[in-house]
Structure 1
Amino acid sequence: MPDQLSDTAKARKDLLWGMYADLRLHSRHAETLRSNVVNFSIVIASLLIAAISADGHIWRSDLALCLGVVSVGLLGLGFAASYTELHERNRRRAMRLRDALDAEFLSGPEPDIEDLLEESDRSHEAGRLYRWSRAITGSTQRFWFALPVLVLVSGVTLTAVAA
């Protein structure tokens, strides 16, 4: 049968698909780590800010806690950037493998994976919710940087008031 793949082609297809699935899993894991780090930094900063403002005033003695908020903001921003890069690297690798699968095994009259995804994205991107949310945030990746930056700015402001 001409439509049947050779054992080598089957092995290659399975290998490419396995690598694609593994890289997508790593990409999602990096997103989960990014989310957890940002959430954890917000919790820690909230606790520090609660301790700073518990007496209703910001005193010079609160300076160490204020610098702690700055540190949490910087660390959160650094980790968010690092995990964003890791996510993007694994996502791009997976897309390259998907393209290879499309070119090698799905080059027929039927749409390939990329075509199906693009068609789905067009209908999604035509919706008002997508256009509205992208007008506000631009990219969801930028949103993950906004929260640590907010913590950092809060810490710098509290440090300036305490100093």
Structure 2
Amino acid sequence: MAEELTDLVKARKDLVWGLYSDVRLHARHAEMLRSNVVNVMIVVASVLVAVIANDGGVERSELPLCVAVTLAGLIGLAFAASYTELFERNRRRAVRLRQHLDDEFFADGPASLASLLDEADVPHESSRLHRWTRGITGTTQRFWLLLPAAVLVAGGVLTAVAL
């Protein structure tokens, strides 16, 4: 009976760990998709702005290109916001699963997973570079929303000038 219980505990631990790994992988995938789409949107918008500005001014004939820049920013912003939510959902799931692992399997040990992570983060979070960059950007999620928003605003301004 004791061996069955041990096997059951091992199976539960493996199952929760596998689920944790899977959810973290989904979060990374969402983050990678978000950053790639925003990067492609910036390249597309840059090419469109280069074509618009090639003749030295913005004319009415370039209105479709200006609208395309605006649409690129709008689509990029919607995609970035959607994938930010998806990343955050999977990140929170992973934190909850890690907490479950801590509570069930590491509560009696010398250190929990959360305490090890917190301890490992202290040198980085106390650095001047970390405090400076977080003071400017807040979180990287804000940064990935700011870029498509800037393209959206630039497209709106170009569209207004072209009218």
> Structure 1 length normalisation: TM-score?
0.95
In the TM superposition, residue 122 of structure 1 has moved relative to its aligned partner by 2.3
- Aligned partner letter, 1:115: S
- Long gaps (5+) in structure 2: none
Structure 2 equivalent of residue 118 of structure 1? 118
In the TM superposition, residue 109 of structure 1 has moved relative to its aligned partner by 3.7
Instruction: For 2:72 and 2:97, locate their aligned partners in 1 and report how far apart those are by CA, in whole Å.
Output: 37
Deviations 1:8-62 (A, max 9, x none): 1110000000000000010000000000110010011011111111111210011
Structure 2 equivalent of residue 19 of structure 1? 19
In the TM superposition, residue 121 of structure 1 has moved relative to its aligned partner by 1.9
Instruction: For 1:28 and 1:109, locate their aligned partners in 2 and report how far apart those are by CA, in whole Å.
Output: 29
Equivalent position SS for 2:118: helix
1:141 aligns with 2:136: no
Deviations 1:120-155 (A, max 9, x none): 222221110110001111111100011101111110
Instruction: For 1:123 and 1:58, locate their aligned partners in 2 and report how far apart those are by CA, in whole Å.
Output: 50
Structure 1 equivalent of residue 84 of structure 2? 84
Deviations 1:78-102 (A, max 9, x none): 0000111000001110111111111
1:128 aligns with 2:128: yes
In the TM superposition, residue 108 of structure 1 has moved relative to its aligned partner by 1.7
Instruction: For 1:17 and 1:50, locate their aligned partners in 2 and report how far apart those are by CA, in whole Å.
Output: 49
Structure 2 equivalent of residue 95 of structure 1? 95
Instruction: For 1:158 and 1:38, locate their aligned partners in 2 and report how far apart those are by CA, in whole Å.
Output: 20
1:152 aligns with 2:152: yes
Query: Cα RMSD (Å) of the superposition?
Result: 1.4
1:37-48 correspondence runs (5 A): 37-48=37-48
Q: Which stretches of structure 1, 4 residues or longer, exceed 6 Å deviation after superposition? A: none
- Long gaps (5+) in structure 1: none
Instruction: For 2:26 and 2:109, locate their aligned partners in 1 and report how far apart those are by CA, in whole Å.
Output: 32
1:161 aligns with 2:161: yes
- Aligned partner letter, 2:47: L
Structure 1 equivalent of residue 61 of structure 2? 61
